[in-house]
Structure 1
Amino acid sequence: MTSTSNKSQLAIIFFTVFLYLVGFGVVIPILPILSRNFGATALQTGLLLSVYSLMQFLFSPFWGRLSDRLGRRPILLFCLLGEGLSYIAFAMARSLEWLFVARILAGFFGASLSTASAYISDITPKHERSKGMALIGAAFGLGFVVGPALGGGLAVWGHSISAEPHFDTSFSAYWVAALCFANLLFGIKFLKESLTAKSESAEKKKRFSVMWHYLNVKTVGALMAVFLLASFAMSSMEATLILYMGEKFQWDIKQVSFGFAYIGVIIVFTQGFLVRRLLPKWGERKVLRLGLTLFALGLTTIAISNSIGMMAVAMTLLSLGNGLSNPSILGSVSLLTDSKEQGVTMGVTQSMASLGRIIGPAFGGFLYGAVAITAPFWASGALAFTGLAIVLYIYRFIPEHGRVA
């Protein structure tokens, strides 16, 4: 592909990932309302959120491996179709059981994020690989900002149209489905296949044996472990921050929503702009080291914050750190992996992040209730510092292709 063609393909992939995260974000303000109406307990509502990440954990390697065999384009298009259908199922759900079915389907098709990562690996040269991966992080952050606000706004709009039970939440879900289908049509017309050499061995490997294999690969496995720790720490913080801010600073959901939006904006700025400026100067090693240091400091600063100003510093540090470290990890894993196995490698890496998002909220909630309200943030900070220690241990083996001499 030419440079211009690559940019257009990156734009399509960016929008695809953005839609995945918008859909997830739209559901955040809607799901508690629907689940309560359907008689769910607090635990069941939490499980509705966790099951999405569970499906991503289980099926990211599946989609990545399949894309190594069949190509990236058909997998991405098929999963966009499935994603749209999952939101139609969500809109039509009138029982708790069907809500679970809809979220399971959304997680299953959303697991194809690994294929989007592999697509970027296919079309970016080595010296721009980590910057390409930063696009996925920027799409995550932007979706995290837009999704909850869009979901709440659409629900209010839907309620003004009709007061019929569940119309407002269904209205929001139908809009997300429409966005998925629009992106599908756009992709059919403009998305080109990026895979030039298909893997012959991918179909012979079992999912968990593939995961175990890559976790035991020198440097790659260590970086995947760091990605897991970072995801674990971030999701544990996210699950308890609302409770913490309400108890310590008397914030309500509106103020906390602005706080999460601020985190998203910083991550978007970091991965969409700052990473692309720092990588050519410093390379993956130094950017990753800086990112994990800021991330760990930000998490621990939450635990000692006694004012909103100090909390703002904490949120800024952890957002900058998360925005710097994630694309550096993804880019480094990609650079250390054979070009014919990008799909399955990205699948395993995203599975590590999903595993962190499955366990992290429950872990943070347990510490918050059973130990102390600051315990989740001390623990998350410790996890981030552990990730930093691993990076320092393997430091000389981390590539520096992003650095321009």
Structure 2
Amino acid sequence: MRRAAVIFIFVTVVLDMLAFGLIIPVLPHLVQAMVGGDIAVATQWTGLFGALFGLMQFVFSPIQGALSDRFGRRPVILASNLGLGLDFIVMALAQTLPVLFIGRLVSGITAASFTTANAYIADVTPREKRAAAFGLLGAAFGIGFVIGPALGGFLGGISPRLPFWVAGALALANFVYGWLILPESLPPERRTPRFDLKGANPLGALRMLRRYPHALGLVVVIFLTQFAQFSLNSTFVLFADYRFQWGPQEVGYTLALVGLCSGIVQAGLVGRLVRRFGERRLMLSGLAFGIAGFLLFGLGATPLVFLAGIPLLALAGLGGPPAQAILTQQVDPHEQGRLQGAISGLAGLATIFGPFLFTQVFATFIGPQANLHLPGAAFVLSAALLAAGLLLGWRVTARFARIPATDAAPPPVAEPGPPG
């Protein structure tokens, strides 16, 4: 039953990521067409769209996590998939930037099912197998990115709106699939007794982490890693156009290669390597590979050098599953949804500022007033963020290397009351 449940979630995440991957090669170009073809203006709008998406993730991911702790994982996942499918259809029909803007707002609200998917994995997987299970979930992301951007690039060559229609159909098919097959993972006796809106807001979800001080530093490491990834998400399409004159098809095929390498690493290596080297070493190694990959992206002067960074960036995926596994061991079972909501909320916070920051860095270093012409400056900044994460991760996980983990989470630290 546990294996079947993990497979169900795996397929759900594949379909979700496939839907998102489809629109990656075409969304910036659709925005560019709506602003008259100006690439600098399109870059700024793309960054604003990404920030809006992240703001919605920041606000609604903790709410989805708390709802899943109270009512179960299944209904939350189904509602997210249904809303996402309908929203893709709205974006396919959009003729103006405001309508597309609203579409991105709604997609940010409904796309938080990844929060519940992670909590689902924590529900059905024993502690010693969680890193491998989260690796399988990472492989689902990779598979979605293998097929999604390549197919999106191909469909975008036919019509820039066709990928949105296909993405909507996939999300709705995912809803039907889950309705018919997906079992509930959280039994009633393990659910929270009530839905606490105060605790479900982003700040409330983060305050929950104060009761688990040993986990808080690791959450910051995950935040830095997620923040760094937005240089690729928000600037790659326009960077590739500017630097190498790549169109939607070349971008789609390149992102498919990224997804293929990521899928191989997550599905084929994480489970084996975590048993051999341990969660802490694997997490730190992933951060080091990410630094090297982003530096090649940022400083490579030719397409060949840029492509050489893809395997290194894929190996950076070795760090995520062990970090997630360590975190789930530090939090009580009935708060796994809130934990994943807090992590996703931070990812949403990264999405608010990441696209804006990286697109502005990209625009600044290619602009006429730039003292240093460096189109890959955003990727160099990502390498610096991962370097900070590596140093912090080394320090905060030192205790995990000395203390054997157990299936039970450590008792939470009492949260201080109000002054007086």
TM-score by length of 2: 0.84
Alignment of 1:336-375 (within 5 A): 336-371=330-365, 372=372, 373=374, 374-375=376-377
Higher mean C-alpha displacement, 248-257 vs 272-281: 248-257
Q: Is the 8 A contact 1:298 1:318 kept in 2?
A: yes
Q: Distance in 2 between matches of 1:272 and 1:401?
A: 24
With over 3 angstroms needed to count, the CA separation of the structure-2 counterparts of 1:54 and 1:22, relative to structure 1, is farther
Shift of 1:297: 2.0
With over 3 angstroms needed to count, the CA separation of the structure-2 counterparts of 1:113 and 1:11, relative to structure 1, is same
Q: Is the 8 A contact 1:236 1:362 kept in 2?
A: no
Could you tell me which of 174, 180, 194 is aligned with 1:183?
Answer: 174
Secondary structure in 2 matching 1:219: helix
The aligned residue for residue 63 of structure 1 is 64
- Are 2:231 and 1:236 aligned? yes
Shift of 1:252: 4.9
- Are 2:11 and 1:11 aligned? no
Q: Distance in 2 between matches of 1:263 and 1:187?
A: 28
The aligned residue for residue 399 of structure 2 is 397
Higher mean C-alpha displacement, 192-201 vs 92-101: 92-101
The aligned residue for residue 411 of structure 2 is none
Shift of 1:124: 0.4
- Are 2:93 and 1:99 aligned? no
Shift of 1:114: 0.6
Alignment of 1:6-405 (within 5 A): 6-39=2-35, 41-42=41-42, 43-156=44-157, 169=161, 171-196=162-187, 197-200=190-193, 203=196, 205-207=199-201, 208-214=203-209, 217-242=212-237, 244-245=239-240, 249=244, 251-321=246-316, 323-371=317-365, 372=372, 373=374, 374-398=376-400
Q: Residue 75 of structure 2 aligns to which amino acid in structure 1?
A: P
Shift of 1:121: 0.4
With over 3 angstroms needed to count, the CA separation of the structure-2 counterparts of 1:23 and 1:244, relative to structure 1, is closer
Q: Number of residue pairs matched?
A: 387
Q: Distance in 2 between matches of 1:94 and 1:250?
A: 26
Q: For the aligned residues, what is the CA RMSD? A: 2.5
Unaligned runs of 5+ in 2: 366-371, 407-420
Q: Distance in 1 between matches of 2:195 and 2:399?
A: 26
With over 3 angstroms needed to count, the CA separation of the structure-2 counterparts of 1:380 and 1:129, relative to structure 1, is same
Q: Is the 8 A contact 1:127 1:401 kept in 2?
A: no
With over 3 angstroms needed to count, the CA separation of the structure-2 counterparts of 1:241 and 1:105, relative to structure 1, is closer
TM-score by length of 1: 0.87
Shift of 1:145: 2.6
Q: Is the 8 A contact 2:294 2:380 kept in 1?
A: yes
Shift of 1:136: 2.3
With over 3 angstroms needed to count, the CA separation of the structure-2 counterparts of 1:178 and 1:201, relative to structure 1, is same
Deviation sequence 1:40-87 (CA, Å, 0-9, x none)? 752334323432232122211100000000011111112121112212
Q: Residue 348 of structure 1 aligns to which amino acid in structure 2?
A: A
Q: Residue 334 of structure 1 aligns to which amino acid in structure 2?
A: T
The aligned residue for residue 369 of structure 2 is none
Higher mean C-alpha displacement, 238-247 vs 201-210: 238-247
Q: Residue 115 of structure 2 aligns to which amino acid in structure 1?
A: S
Q: Is the 8 A contact 1:57 1:350 kept in 2?
A: yes
Q: Distance in 2 between matches of 1:125 and 1:236?
A: 34
With over 3 angstroms needed to count, the CA separation of the structure-2 counterparts of 1:20 and 1:38, relative to structure 1, is same
With over 3 angstroms needed to count, the CA separation of the structure-2 counterparts of 1:126 and 1:103, relative to structure 1, is same
Q: Residue 141 of structure 1 aligns to which amino acid in structure 2?
A: G
Q: Residue 330 of structure 1 aligns to which amino acid in structure 2?
A: Q
Q: Residue 199 of structure 1 aligns to which amino acid in structure 2?
A: T
Q: Distance in 1 between matches of 2:129 and 2:288?
A: 23
Percent of residue pairs bearing the same amino acid type: 34
Q: Distance in 2 between matches of 1:370 and 1:376?
A: 10
The aligned residue for residue 165 of structure 1 is none
With over 3 angstroms needed to count, the CA separation of the structure-2 counterparts of 1:100 and 1:332, relative to structure 1, is same
